[in-house]
Amino acid sequence: MTKKFLSLIVALIITTATLTACNNDQNGNEQTTIEFMHSSVEQERLAVINKLVEKFEKENPGIKIKQVPVEEDSYNTKIVTLASAGELPEVIEVGQDYAKVMDKDQLIDKDSVKKVIDEAGESNFYEGALKLMKTEDGKSYTGLPISGWVQGIWYNKKMLQSKGFEEPENWNEVMEIAKAFTDQGNKKYGIALPTAESGFSEQAFSQFALSNKANVLEANGDLNLNTPAMEESLTYYKELSQYTMPGSNDVTEVKDAFMNETVPMTVYSTYILPSVFEEGNAENIGFAIPNKKEKAVFGTTSALTISSGLDDTNKKAAEKFLAFMAEPENMTEWVLMSPGGAQPVSKKVTENKEYQSNEVVNAFGDLSAEIADSFNDIQVFGLVDDKNYLKMGDITSSGVIPKMINEVTVGKKEVESELKQAEKEIKEVLK
């Protein structure tokens, strides 16, 4: 986006906000209306958000919230369209990756976001959740974390016990279990591992690489892909893929293999938990984190952000709404729209009685707290020493890393040559 075009967008946003900031309610009282864009279009989720909005408006009679629900598949495109027309909603639900795009295009009021987080108390959030929303300079945030999910190695306790294994604590133990359970003749395998040319493969591989202290970028932001640590990590992932199902495995194949007990272990997000609960198997699932030199959990954060260019009236209204959503009881309601899958990003939600007593959360017992705590071990490619580099978004969008993973696992190509090729392609992307 050019600076000239960006300036036009900001100017349009300011003009629109000034014209629409205030109106009168039926009693003649001045009222500010702000828009809230989110991706919860399902009736059950809308009912929860409607309840939260109603509660907010009752506590803040001078502010009206107009919801803008948008389907997830067209969500990011809608943001671009609205920004181009100068009609960007004041409050927007956004994921960590797209928040980087919006930040790069100067569409986020980072000062307002930080103000809300400071008032809510940074120490009340899990460190990893805040890191994911950090700006590139490490001084502010692109959104208020409201929920998230984490990814790790899920294992079937009974299946592991049948061969004398307990929870795998490091790379070697994961490999040992995978080998022990693989019986290709009977279509049984040791671990369900993503190998397709997809974002899921990049996410899964990143956990192993980062646990070996292999990041894509250095502390100064320079490309750091072709290193001994990264080569060791990709070599391990390639070997581990010998004990997964043949072909290019993606989300559906990986989940199904674990649920039907084709494998005793899988790499997946917490969104596997609702299915495990429905099967009545909550007590039989465990959660392990890839560990070589340190633990590394892949995770994502859903956040609420405030758009830039608002006048003072609308900005203050947006800040009030974010502050309201940052209150533990309200954040708990949001998380429990998808219990088990969505995870708390605030310690106060984890401690909340309503959260703890939820049927799904309660069914997993101590595992729920263990998963929430794992937010403190979150690491992602491009996040280095609290600096969340925007260029990582371009690298991920290019698809170079998933292609590399697919080539060495399914394509059986050499790790060293594919690392060199990927490095060359990423350099072109970053020019």
Q: CA 79, CA 68: separation in Å to the nearest integer?
A: 11
Strands (E), 21-170: 22-24, 30-38, 63-69, 91-95, 144-156
Helix/strand/coil percent split, the chain, to 5: 55, 20, 30
| Structural tokens at position 407 | 């080539």
Distance of CA 214 to the CA centre of its chain: 20
* Separate counts of helices (H) and strands (E) for the chain: 21, 10
Question: For position 6, what pLDDT does the model report?
Answer: 45
CB under 8 Å to 350, separation ≥6 — which residues? 344, 356, 369, 372
Paired tokens of 175: 């490999």
Domains of the chain and CATH, by start: 150-298+378-429 (3.40.190.10)
With tokens 């899921």, the residue in question is 200
Q: What is the pLDDT of residue 398?
A: 95
Q: Which segments of 266-305 does DSSP mark as H helices, in order?
A: 273-278
Q: Is the dihedral of CA 207, 208, 211, 216 positive or negative?
A: negative
Residues in Cβ contact with 216 at an 8 Å cutoff, skipping those fewer than 6 apart: 223, 224, 225, 381, 382, 392, 395, 401, 426
Element (H, E) at 267: strand 265-269
Q: Which residues of 314-327 are buried (b: 16+ CB within 10 A; e: fewer)?
A: bbebbbbbbbbbbe
Closest among 298, 358, 338, 322 to 146, alpha carbons compared? 322
Residues in the chain: 431
Q: Name the pTM for this structure.
A: 0.89
Q: What is the pLDDT along the chain (431 residues), one digit of tens a residue?
A: 444 444 444 444 444 443 445 565 555 567 999 999 999 999 999 999 999 999 999 999 999 999 999 999 999 999 999 999 999 999 999 999 899 989 989 999 999 999 999 999 999 999 999 999 999 988 999 999 999 999 999 999 999 999 999 999 999 999 999 999 999 999 999 999 999 999 999 999 999 999 999 999 999 999 999 999 999 999 999 999 999 999 999 999 999 999 999 999 999 999 999 999 999 999 999 999 999 999 999 999 999 999 999 999 999 999 999 999 999 999 999 999 999 999 999 999 999 999 999 999 999 999 998 998 898 889 999 999 888 999 998 999 999 999 999 999 999 999 999 999 999 999 999 99
347: number of Cβ within 10 Å: 17
Q: Are 156 and 126 in contact (CB under 8 A)?
A: no
